[in-house]
Amino acid sequence: MNKNYFEIKRAGINTTFQDQGRNNLCHIGIPFSGAMDNRNFQISNKLVGNEVNFPTIEFAYQGPLLKYFGENINFAITGDVKFIIRKKNNAIEGNCYQSFTLENGDELDIISTNKSVYGYLAVSGEFDVNYQWSSCSVNTKANIGANDGKKIEDGQKTYISNINKNLSNKKLNYINTKIENIRVIQGTNFDYFSDEGKKIFFEKEFVISKLSDRMGMRLEGPKIENIVDTNIKSEGLLKGVIQVPADGNPIIMLSDHGTIGGYPKIGVVISADYDKLVQLTPGSKIKFKKVELADAETLFKLYDLETQNLISQI
């Protein structure tokens, strides 16, 4: 029935359908999920003329190799990504933040993200995906969302309907900048840690460990000493919360986090820094900088305004 589709010749490492995520389900154990880097997710949709919250394909490190069949369609990739478009007689290297047109039989080879983690692929149409609680976002843990709640796999097909008739190409001048200083607000168990531990947290460097994924980011560095209790009575978690278990190494909760946890919370990453935080690759060095609530609120307003400005330029 539906004749437009991608054949997934190589799925990539962690390739999932994501949109804006789902709310009001933490109390039953379902986290927000959604695109990790919300700014890049929205921009990818706008570049192909979609509403900003349409389903996209999110990939990490190595992206998918897709062969396209169907009527002409536009796509755009955001993040910091190396990709190649292979046509019958030639191949061109593509640029992020710019839309391109795919014709029947073309291949899109998303080779890798450059010194960043996540990239987004949007197409000028609608991926045929199932929604649960108004979101297609895949939660592989509970098999919720598009593609039966699973990662995209080699050999499968991904159908697309309602392709836009207007295929004019769009472009945005934007470079995905990096941060090294992560701004945080003190957590609810900040006083569980020794004075030395608190000092270490705000002054020393931490290295992002390989054990990082959509659920959380583990850090390595000088140990943060707990002087009260290395466990708390289990309570709610949110993305951005930094827990310190008994081993003294902080873990930052990310979008697919478990909804309840029992380790003390030393801090919370401010909303304005979340999109940039998730893009940091294992091995990156970061420092935490303390900010107050009022400043965090202002910083988020500015960040959101900047995102809205970028979207309106497209």
Partner 1 sequence: MIKNISNLGDAALYCDFGSEVNKEINSKVIRYFKSIQKENIDGINNLTPSYNKLIISFDLRKKNFQTIKKLIENLNITNDDELETNRIKIPVCCDENFSLDIKRLEEKLQITRDKIYEKFFGKEFFCYMTGFIAGMPFLGDLENELQAKRLETPRVKVPKGSVGLTEQFANVYTFESPGGWNIIGNTPQVIFDSTKEKNPNLINPGDVVTFEQITKDQYYNNNE
Binding site for partner 1 (CB under 8 A): 23-30, 32, 132-133, 139, 141-144, 149, 185, 187-188, 233-238, 240-241, 258-261, 265, 268-271, 293, 296-297, 300, 304
How near is the Cβ of 268 to partner 1 at its closest, in Å? 3
How near is the Cβ of 300 to partner 1 at its closest, in Å? 5
CA distance 14 to 206: 25
- Decide: 268 and 240 in contact? Cβ < 8 Å: yes
Q: Which is nearer to partner 1, 51 or 196 (CB)?
A: 51
- Decide: 249 and 220 in contact? Cβ < 8 Å: yes
Q: Which is nearer to partner 1, 88 or 233 (CB)?
A: 233
- Decide: 46 and 80 in contact? Cβ < 8 Å: no
C-alpha 44: how far from chain center:
13
How near is the Cβ of 249 to partner 1 at its closest, in Å? 16
Q: Which is nearer to partner 1, 92 or 228 (CB)?
A: 228
Q: Which is nearer to partner 1, 6 or 32 (CB)?
A: 32
CB contact burial 102-114 (16+ within 10 A = b; e otherwise): beeebbbbbebbe
Q: Which is nearer to partner 1, 30 or 117 (CB)?
A: 30
Query: In this structure, how many other beta carbons lie within 10 angstroms of the beta carbon of residue 2?
Result: 10
How near is the Cβ of 93 to partner 1 at its closest, in Å? 37
Nearest C-alpha neighbor of 276 from the set 266, 265, 286, 267: 286
Query: In this structure, how many other beta carbons lie within 10 angstroms of the beta carbon of residue 246?
Result: 11
How near is the Cβ of 301 to partner 1 at its closest, in Å? 8
